Amino acid sequence: MQTVDYDAELARAGAHVEGRWSAARFLARRYPLGAIGAAIMAVFVFAALFAEFITIYDPLATNSALSLAPPSAVHWMGADNFGRDVYSRIVYGARISLAVGIGATALGCLFGVALGLLSGYLLGWVDLVVQRLIDILQALPLLVLALVMSAALGPSLQNTIVAIAIPLIPYVARVIRANTLALRELPFVEAARAIGMSDLRIAMRHVLPNTLAPLIVLATAQLGSAILTEAALSFLGLGIPEPFPSWGRMLSESAAEYVRTAPWLVIFPGIAISLVVFGTNLLGDAARDLLDPRQRS
């Protein structure tokens, strides 16, 4: 009968955990701004996941007696013109912003990677058609194209994700195509062709994995842009509809009318948007330095 040395197993598990913590401490010392960005994003992810446990009030419940109540011990960030708790709405709004940001970035990266890999590996008329399509998408700035798509699709969570994802496609496709053009001429790809591998297998098994590092950097950077674009769309009334708590819509409802009489309605949603975009940008810069050898000192 085989016996298990539990002391040895615990020692190995402890060494594994200690190794992870040592690596985390080293990365935090090497990239302190990236660690700050990761901490900011961790706070917002925690708030989005556990919103029910860290809030007291329903973000949709109205109370006319508390209309425009200032920040206090009862309502930490005050109440809006309908008497809804601003803190609860900001915490629940993190779900909307992160869902739109992550969903739009993932969808844009999915189609961008497919188009970039197809264009860069096959070349010829396929590359010509794909690049002209990308040129059309890049003819308009990200926000303008997102406005057009959102106005055409209508205000809803799913339509907002699609409207923001489409303008992100050409940026991802360009980066993946550039990396694919460099990788397809390397010796390991030539060797794969020599042993009879199909183009699809070479592209998926050998080329695509080597484009993941720049893709991760680009996706992290585009996450902040997607969140900021969602806030702008909601501010203009084309993003997340009522009654869902969206930071951009909170600003649009209060910026013009209550900025002087109830500034907390503008300050706290603005701080939330600024922090999450700031955190994603810091995290993206650290990911670039970590994954791109050319950026290392």
Task: Give the tens place of pLDDT for each residue, 58-101.
Answer: 888 888 888 888 888 888 888 888 888 999 999 998 888 888 88
pLDDT at 91: 92
Joined tokens for residue 185: 């001429």
CA atoms within 13 A on the CB side of 141: 4
pLDDT at 225: 82
pLDDT at 293: 53
User: Per residue of the chain (297 residues), what is the pLDDT tens digit?
Assistant: 445 454 454 455 455 545 566 766 777 788 788 888 889 989 999 999 998 899 888 888 888 888 888 888 888 888 888 888 999 999 998 888 888 888 999 999 999 998 888 888 887 888 888 888 888 888 877 778 888 888 888 778 888 888 888 888 888 888 888 888 888 877 877 787 788 777 778 777 878 888 877 888 788 878 888 888 888 888 777 877 777 788 888 887 766 677 788 888 888 988 998 898 888 888 877 877 776 655 554
pLDDT at 98: 87
Q: What is the DSSP letter of 261?
A: T
Residue 238 CA to residue 255 CA, distance in Å, equals 17
Q: What is the DSSP letter of 204?
A: I
Residue 37 CA to residue 41 CA, distance in Å, equals 6
Q: How many residues does the chain have?
A: 297
pLDDT at 211: 80
pLDDT at 50: 92
pLDDT at 295: 52
Residue 110 CA to residue 294 CA, distance in Å, equals 26
Residue with the two structure tokens 């935090």: 28
pLDDT at 10: 44
Q: Cis peptide leading into 269, omega within 30 of 0?
A: no
